[in-house]
Amino acid sequence: MTRTATIARKTTETSVDVRLDLDGTGVYSVTTGIGFLDHMLEQLSRHSLIDLDVRVAGDLHIDAHHTTEDSGIAIGAAVAQALGDRRGITRYGDALIPMDETLTRVALDISGRPYLVWRTAFSQPRLGEMDTELFKEWFAAFAGAAGITLHIETLYGVNNHHIVESCFKGLARALRTAVTLDPRKLDAVPSTKGTLGGTPTP
């Protein structure tokens, strides 16, 4: 079974190209034009073991909003495409990620019902050249396009860099578990409904 995807999302605001392999080794190549976002997407790849190639050309002369949101949409759509009908997957995943003084909990369900619960706050408006309010936008865009129910809660933390990084690492570890194939049920979709929804489009 090959679980790979290629997504090209082109609008008047951004051009996004994503290649993804769910069964990779965490090899990444990321260029979004936003250094901090690159760093977070590299963490996502490395800790999920999902190979990820991302190229974004966005309207950064305006701000980072479109680039951030559209990269989340395209990566989420690539995950959905690579999962196909979700047959054989573990489906659920969770992680509790400590990073120095910060602790973040992430839980997800590859349900076909996109939803984000975001209980994370920041004490400063920017990290590098990126507005901290945009991190919620990235996770919402990713969950929506991937068809994932996603809960992210920072239980405590002070350093804003640590808080954001623990959220991305938590997503990575939870996703790593959820997309893993269960050898006991490779022929079955893990739902009594017999389906986990269709594949969203980017």
pLDDT in tens, 153-184: 999 999 999 999 999 999 999 999 999 998 88
Q: Which residues pair with 152 in a beta bridge?
A: 106, 118
Per this entry, what is the length of the chain?
202
Whether pTM > 0.85 for this model: the answer is yes
What is the mean pLDDT of the segment spanning 20-38?
97
Buried-exposed string 95-131: b where 16+ CB fall within 10 A, e elsewhere: bebebeebbbbbbbbbbbebebebebebeeeebeebe
Is the pLDDT assigned to residue 41 strictly greater than 60?
Answer: yes
**More confident of the two residues 63 and 199:** 63
- The whole-number pLDDT of residue 201 equals 40
Which of the four pLDDT bands, split at 50, 70 and 90, describes residue 128?
confident
For 4-178, which CATH class? alpha beta
Of 41-45, 124-128, 132-136, minimum mean pLDDT range:
124-128
First to last CA, the chain: 23
